[in-house]
Each structure stands twice: as structure tokens, then as C-alpha cells.
Amino acid sequence: MTRTVFEKADVIPLVAEVFRELGYEGASMSKITARTRLSKGSLYHFFPGGKEEMASEILAHIENWFIRNIYEPLERDDPLKAIHNMWREVDAYFRSGQRICLVGAFALDETRDRFASGIRQYFRRWIDALCAALVRAGASTDAAAVISEETVGGIQGGLILSRALHDETLFERTLAGLAERVTKCVREDAGR
């Protein structure tokens, strides 16, 4: 029998995937052990606080990924390039809509209240970073604020719809539509 030795950094993405598939309440310890092939002993070794600690560290891990790959570029790189990078990274991260947003899923039921500040922060910073990039690209402050909210919300809605309709093309169509509107917004305001 093979005995693979992990460290925490390897374990977090594995467990995260189970939470994504089953939700916070649906992801029981036995489901997690079955799908990750890690025993309860190993899991409690890495996360003495159990499920709550797992989910908490997973949320932090997700936020860090978005900060590095999406928010920071939006906040300080060339805005149009950073926005283009966002579409590409988001499509890859959510596997063209085949993978859900765990933070959005947690927001829908009372799981939200357990992780309220992490959930709020993730969306708040995404919207603000996109808004800042749009303003730097020449959009008006008002228009940028509106379309940033619509974009981040639109991505979440696209994930729900593409899963509900079993339509893998829907998420990419959603991203393309959002990208077009964002581009138009920048052009119109910058050209005034």
C-alpha cells in the first residue's frame, strides 16, 4: 500500500474541492476522508479545529490567490492589461463555469455568518480593485462603481446559471458579455 506524505499546503486545495462540491454542511468528515483519501487522523493533525478551521483556512487561501492573481494587478498594473488578465484568470479559475465560487456559495445560507468578514472582504476588494482600474483607465467614478458591482455579480450569476442549465458555454458567454460592456464603458467615458 502506498503512503503519501503531505504538508498543509498540499491538503488545503484537496479539501477545498470537496467543500466546493458539497457545500459547508454537506462536506462531512467521512465524505472529506473518502474524496481526499486522507484519514481523519491526518485531517485533524492539520486542522485541530476541525471543519470550521478547514473552511476558514480555505477561504484565506482563496482570497490570497485572488489578491495575487487578480486584485493586485488591477490595483497597480496597466488597467486595461489587468482587466484583460482578469477575464483570463477568472475563466481558468472557475474552469469555464464547471467549478463554483466557494465564497459565493457560503454567502447564500447561514454559513455566511460563520465567515462573514472573510466573505465580505473577498467581494469588497474585488469590486473596489476593478473600480479603481476602471477609473485609471478613464471611466467616470460613478460608471466605474456601477459596472464593477455588475461585473462581479454577473460572474456569480453566470456560475449559478451554467451549473443549473448544465451549459458549459454559458459561463464563457457571460464573461464575454461583461468584457464587452466594461470595454464600452471605458471608451465612452474616456472619450468625453
For DNA, the binding residues (CB under 7 A) are 3-7, 27-31, 37-42, 44-46, 48-52
The option from DNA, a second copy, none interacting with 21 (CB < 5 to 8 A, set by class) reads: a second copy
112-151 as b/e: b if 16+ CB within 10 A: beebeebbeebbebbbebbbbbbbbbbbeeebbbebbebb
Cα(118)–Cα(105) distance, rounded to whole angstroms? Answer: 13
State the minimum distance, in angstroms, from the CB of residue 170 to a second copy.
7
CB of 88 vs a second copy, minimal distance in Å: 20
Q: Which of 47, 174, 175, 185 touches a second copy by CB under 8 A?
A: 174
Shortest separation between residue 135's beta carbon and a second copy, angstroms: 18
Q: With binding defined as CB under 8 A, does residue 25 bind a second copy?
A: yes
State the minimum distance, in angstroms, from the CB of residue 19 to DNA.
Answer: 11
Task: Give whichever of 14 and 160 is closer to a second copy, judged by the CB atom.
Answer: 160
Q: How many CB atoms lie within 10 A of CB 60?
A: 15
CA R_g for the chain: 18
- Distance, first Cα to last Cα, the chain: 69
CA distance 14 to 5: 14
Interface ranges with a second copy (CB under 8 A): 20-26, 100, 103-105, 107-112, 116, 119-120, 122-124, 146, 149-150, 152-161, 163-166, 170, 173-174, 177
